[in-house]
């Protein structure tokens, strides 16, 4: 999708900003045209066509707003990978993200929940979208528990790091760094939160929530272990296969966890699986473009607190997913909350850069 593999080094041959979004703009145009055509085919009216066109656009904006932190975390991981694995994630990875998470994953949920075959699930989505949406909504509790737990581990692992030497919220992050030497402390924190939330649910729901959360925790730990095993053998692999299969798997599971909320929330706007796939697929392309831009321009190095804001947003999203076991929280709140945290961290980074520049100038 890009002209050659992305560059590993920060600020390496950075392109004009709009060029990073070239493919995103192309996919947007194609997706909106396809959405309008689908609307016409479904309704046969201009009003129906414009309605589907508008829903596709709103879903794309929703996905982008929910995924700022996803792009930053992707960039944080990608900068440690070789150009070959960067390219594989940004090509094959985006195919998995768009088609796997936005189409195959919702179908798989219906297949498991309803006990039907994949083709029957596809027919159900096309012919009886209301029933399809109901099954998806019924599966929200285990999805929220699984995804929330995985994301909580991602966020806490960033802060519970004894080698971390840059702190944004110093009083909190300093304590977390201090206690990071205690083995498994982030696992203990997550389990306490899971037990707390599950205690307020009905017995049947509590069991489902707890089991799903444990699977989310195990998935994170297994991906970490598998990633370490795979990447530790890189010395014995051919050069073209080095440096990132474990990280690739980690990023795919991470993207899946980020996508849970968007896929489920999209059913509030439409029950048509294909309209959802178009809208969220457009948004996913912008996430990819933002990821490439962050890596090539070295943005994370330029703005020292930007990663902190993203990981705080991840923790906030995980808590929101837990809370959605009790009450529906509009996706606009989720998206704006994450964007606000990232915006504040960016503003803090700019202020720090300005003060550092003034101090350097005075010393000169």
pLDDT digits (tens, 9 = 90+) for 16-40: 777 888 888 898 899 889 988 988 8
- Predicted local confidence at residue 267, as pLDDT: 65
In a domain, 10, yes or no: no
The residue assigned the tokens 């596809």 is 122
Q: How far apart are CA 164 and CA 178, in angstroms?
A: 10
In a domain, 158, yes or no: yes
In a domain, 169, yes or no: yes
In a domain, 176, yes or no: yes
Q: How far apart are CA 10 and CA 294, in angstroms?
A: 8
The residue assigned the tokens 């396809």 is 34
- Predicted local confidence at residue 320, as pLDDT: 86
In a domain, 305, yes or no: yes
Asked whether residue 155 carries a pLDDT value surpassing 80, the answer given is yes
- Of all residues in the chain, the percent with pLDDT exceeding 90 is 7
Asked whether residue 10 carries a pLDDT value surpassing 70, the answer given is no
Q: Which domain holds residue 143?
A: 17-357
Closest CA to 299 of 45, 12, 26: 12
Task: Please check whether residue 243 is in contact with residue 231, taking contact to mean a CB–CB distance below 8 angstroms.
Answer: yes
Please report, for the chain, how many H helices and E strands are present, in that order.
18, 0
Q: Which residue has the higher pLDDT, 273 or 200?
A: 200
131-150: average pLDDT: 81
Q: Which residue has the higher pLDDT, 217 or 1?
A: 217
Question: pTM value?
Answer: 0.72
In a domain, 353, yes or no: yes
In a domain, 260, yes or no: yes
256-268: average pLDDT: 65
Which own/partner pairs from 264-270 qualify as long-range (CB within 8 Å, at least 24 positions apart)?
Answer: 264/136, 264/137, 264/140, 264/143, 265/62, 265/331, 265/334, 266/59, 266/62, 267/133, 267/136, 267/137, 268/331, 269/55, 269/58, 269/59, 269/62, 270/52, 270/55, 270/59
162 band by pLDDT with thresholds 50, 70 and 90: confident
In a domain, 150, yes or no: yes
Total domain count, the chain = 1
């Amino acid at each position: 999708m890009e002209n050659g593999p992305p560059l590993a080094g920060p600020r390496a041959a950075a392109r004009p900003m709009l060029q990073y979004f070239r493919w995103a703009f192309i996919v947007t145009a194609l997706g909106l045209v396809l959405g309008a055509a689908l609307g016409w085919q479904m309704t046969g009216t201009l009003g129906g066509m414009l309605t589907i066109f508008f829903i596709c656009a709103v879903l794309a904006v929703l996905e982008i707003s929910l995924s700022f932190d996803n792009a930053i975390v992707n960039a944080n991981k990608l900068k440690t990978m070789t150009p070959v694995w960067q390219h594989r994630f940004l090509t094959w990875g985006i195919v998995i993200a768009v088609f796997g998470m936005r189409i195959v994953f919702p179908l798989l949920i219906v297949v498991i929940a309803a006990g039907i075959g994949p083709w029957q699930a596809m027919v159900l989505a096309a012919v009886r979208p209301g029933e399809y949406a109901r099954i998806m909504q019924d599966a929200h509790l285990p999805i929220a528990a699984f995804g929330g737990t995985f994301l909580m581990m991602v966020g806490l692992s960033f802060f519970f790091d004894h080698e971390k030497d840059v702190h944004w919220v110093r009083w909190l992050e300093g304590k977390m760094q201090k206690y990071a030497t205690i083995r498994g402390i982030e696992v203990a924190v997550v389990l306490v939160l899971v037990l707390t939330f599950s205690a307020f649910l009905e017995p049947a729901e509590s069991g489902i929530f707890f089991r799903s959360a444990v699977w989310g925790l195990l998935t994170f730990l297994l991906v970490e272990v598998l990633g370490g095993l795979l990447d530790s053998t890189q010395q014995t692999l051919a050069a073209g296969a080095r440096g990132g299969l474990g990280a690739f798997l980690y990023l795919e599971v991470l993207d899946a966890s980020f996508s849970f909320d968007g896929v489920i929330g999209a059913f509030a706007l439409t029950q048509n699986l294909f309209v959802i796939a178009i809208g969220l697929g457009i948004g996913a392309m912008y996430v990819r473009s933002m990821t490439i831009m962050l890596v090539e321009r070295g943005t994370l190095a330029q703005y020292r607190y930007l990663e902190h804001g993203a990981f705080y947003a991840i923790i906030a999203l995980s808590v929101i997913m837990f809370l959605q076991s009790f009450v529906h929280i509009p996706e606009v709140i989720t998206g704006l909350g994450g964007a606000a945290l990232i915006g504040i961290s960016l503003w803090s980074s700019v202020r720090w850069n300005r003060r550092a520049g003034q101090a350097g100038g005075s010393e000169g």
